[in-house]
Amino acid sequence: MKFTIKNSLFTAIVSELHKISSNKSLLPILSGIKIEARKDGVVLVGGNAELFIKKKFPLHINGETVVEVHEEGSVVVLSKHFVTLLKKLPDDIEISSDDMQSVLIKSGDIVTRLNGLRAADYPTLPEIKVLHSIEVNLTSLKEVIKQTIFAVSKSEEKPALTGVKMEFDNNKLICTATDSHRLSHREIQISYTEDSHSVIVPSKSLIELLQLKESSLATVHITIAKNMILFSTENTILYSVLIEGNYPNTQSLIPTDFATRITMNTKTLIAGIDRACVFSEEWKHNNVHLTIIDNTILKITTNSAGIGAIEEQQRISMVEGNTDVNMTFDGRFLLDALKGIQEEQVTISFYGVMKPAVITPEIETSYVQLISPVRS
| Residues of span 313-342 touching a copy of itself by CB under 8 A | 313-314
Angle between helices 138-149 and 203-211 (to 10 degrees): 140
Taking CB under 8 A as the criterion, the residue among 309, 318, 353, 354 binding a copy of itself is 309
CA 169 to chain centre: 22
| Comparison of 133 and 291: residue with beta carbon closer to a copy of itself | 291
Beta carbons within 8 Å of 109's beta carbon, 6+ residues apart:
none
Q: Which of 180, 215, 214 is nearest to 370 (CA)?
A: 180
| Comparison of 274 and 362: residue with beta carbon closer to a copy of itself | 274
Span interacting with a copy of itself, options 112-120, 167-175, 202-210, 258-266, rule CB under 8 A: 112-120
Span interacting with a copy of itself, options 2-10, 39-47, 156-164, 267-275, rule CB under 8 A: 267-275
What's the min distance (Å) between Cβ of 274 and a copy of itself? 6
CA angle 65, 100, 25 (to 5 degrees): 85
- Residue 357 parent element (H or E): strand 357-361
| Comparison of 125 and 278: residue with beta carbon closer to a copy of itself | 278
Span interacting with a copy of itself, options 32-40, 228-236, 311-319, 326-334, rule CB under 8 A: 311-319
Structural contact between residues 327 and 373, judged by C-beta atoms closer than 8 angstroms: yes
308 lies in the site for a copy of itself, by CB under 8 A: yes
What's the min distance (Å) between Cβ of 126 and a copy of itself? 31
CA distance 279 to 310: 9
Build a one-symbol-per-residue string for 51-90: x at contacts with a copy of itself by CB under 8 A, - elsewhere. ---------------------------x--x--xx--xx-
CA distance 217 to 84: 32
Distances (CA, A) of 265 to 119, 143, 338: 56, 21, 11
| Comparison of 274 and 364: residue with beta carbon closer to a copy of itself | 274
- Residue 143 parent element (H or E): helix 138-149
What's the min distance (Å) between Cβ of 73 and a copy of itself? 18
| Comparison of 201 and 288: residue with beta carbon closer to a copy of itself | 288
Residues contacting a copy of itself: total by CB under 8 A: 29
CA atoms within 13 A on the CB side of 47: 21
Q: Is the dihedral of CA 9, 15, 16, 17 positive or negative?
A: positive
Span interacting with a copy of itself, options 30-38, 187-195, 248-256, 273-281, rule CB under 8 A: 273-281
| Comparison of 31 and 223: residue with beta carbon closer to a copy of itself | 31
Taking CB under 8 A as the criterion, the residue among 60, 70, 113, 118 binding a copy of itself is 113
Diameter over CA atoms, the chain: 80
| Comparison of 277 and 325: residue with beta carbon closer to a copy of itself | 277
**What one-character-per-residue DSSP string does 76-88 give?**
EEEHHHHHHHHHT
DSSP state of 108: T
**Neighbouring-strand partners of residue 46:** 53
Structural contact between residues 55 and 235, judged by C-beta atoms closer than 8 angstroms: yes
What's the min distance (Å) between Cβ of 298 and a copy of itself? 11
101 lies in the site for a copy of itself, by CB under 8 A: no
CA distance 315 to 268: 10
Taking CB under 8 A as the criterion, the residue among 311, 320, 343, 344 binding a copy of itself is 311
Taking CB under 8 A as the criterion, the residue among 12, 210, 254, 271 binding a copy of itself is 271
| Residues of span 117-146 touching a copy of itself by CB under 8 A | none
Span interacting with a copy of itself, options 151-159, 203-211, 217-225, 275-283, rule CB under 8 A: 275-283
Q: Which of 54, 27, 51 is nearest to 243 (CA)?
A: 51
Binding site residues, a copy of itself, CB under 8 A:
78, 81, 84-85, 88-89, 103, 109-115, 271-272, 274-275, 278-279, 306-314
